[in-house]
Amino acid sequence: MRIRLLACALVALAAFTPSLGAQARQAAPPPAKPAATPAPAAATIGPNDIAVTLNYTGKGVIDATHKVMLILFAEPTVGPNSQPVRCCGGPMFVSKNNTTVTFKEVPTKPVYVFAIYDEAGTGYNAQNGPPPNGTPVGMYMKAGTVATPVTPGSKTPIKFSFSGAKKWGQ
């Protein structure tokens, strides 16, 4: 009886051994695909807003230390006595190239968009007057050398590209 019981146990063991090996050789099922992440919704540009996508093509990089400051003015010519349009959270700072910023609730129509590149990385913020002489600056222009007026409410950002070839005070 013992021998018969031992024989049955060995047969059962032999029967399970190949199937366990076969299971180990099977390919694991592919991992479940993660759910697609929806793209972030585009920022809504309101009827009194101006969105600007900045592209700096000059020397140097735009980063946390070397930012570009965007300011709105009511006049197309900007000089040491010019006053920016007071609104919209103040000047906008861009710390990465090809970034879009939005000036909200712009009260003046039209305005002119002016850029100052902090080439020296001094943290210039316009609170103590105009930038130092020689600082790279630019004015939004569609073509040529004439500043382009911008009216709030466009549903697409304006594309502002400047090289910084123009320097403040020169």
pLDDT digits (tens, 9 = 90+) for 36-61: 443 344 568 889 999 999 999 999 99
Residue 125 lies in a domain: yes
Residue 38 lies in a domain: no
SS3 61: coil
* Pairing between β-strand 99-103 and β-strand 68-73 as defined by DSSP bridges: unpaired
Residue 77 lies in a domain: yes
Distance CA 83, CA 133 (A): 18
Task: Provide the domain count of the chain.
Answer: 1
DSSP of 84-100: B---TTSSEEE-STTEE
pLDDT of residue 31: 53
Q: Are 118 and 67 in contact (CB under 8 A)?
A: yes
Residue 98 lies in a domain: yes
Task: Write the pLDDT tens digit of every residue in 9-39.
Answer: 333 334 434 444 444 444 555 555 444 443 3
Backbone Cα Rg of the chain:
32
Residue 7 lies in a domain: no
pLDDT of residue 41: 40
Residue 32 lies in a domain: no
The whole domain housing 53 covers 45-170
Residue 24 lies in a domain: no
Residue 37 lies in a domain: no
